[in-house]
Copies of this chain bind each other. A is one copy, B any other.
Amino acid sequence: MKIGELSKKSGCSIQTIRFYEKQDLFEACNRSEGNYRIYDASSLRALRFIKQCRSLDLTIIEIKQLLDTKNNPDKSCSSVNNLIHQHMVDVTHRIAELEELKLTLSEMASACTDDRKVKECGVLQLLEK
């Protein structure tokens, strides 16, 4: 199949597929006589793996590490488990940051709930501090 079909089946845009290839995340495939990329079912599987990882917000570098680990079936999988665990810690941390931000924003919002003039705006006054 050509890149347009792979794009539809995988849900990744054509540009994204080419981008992953350039990043060495997605193996360069065979080319047709007219230099078109030709993919098969295994390409689709590989791309879906990448997409799954990206949906977990893993970075391209992290996905490369996972792929590298996958190529050594007899080695320990602890690096995989650590990566997921660390990622969960990071997400938890980010949530806490955003919760704090949300609190600040909510305090700020309640400093000016009605429609005043700019020079009397409670929000702007808080921002000056």
Contact = CB atoms under 8 A, between A and B. Distances in A.
Given A73-B118, A81-B113, 16 more contacts: A49-B128, A56-B108, A66-B124, A69-B118, A73-B117, A74-B118, A74-B119, A76-B118, A77-B112, A80-B121, A81-B109, A81-B112, A85-B109, A87-B105, A88-B109, A91-B102
Contacts of A52: 127-129
Nearest to A119: B73
A118 B75 contact: yes
B80 A118 contact: yes
Contacts of A128: 45, 49, 52
A77 B123 contact: yes
18 contacts: A45-B128, A49-B127, A49-B128, A52-B129, A70-B124, A74-B117, A76-B115, A76-B116, A76-B118, A77-B115, A77-B123, A81-B112, A85-B109, A87-B105, A88-B105, A88-B106, A94-B98, A95-B95
Contacts of A105: 56, 84, 87-88, 91
A24 interface: no
Copies of the chain in the assembly:
2
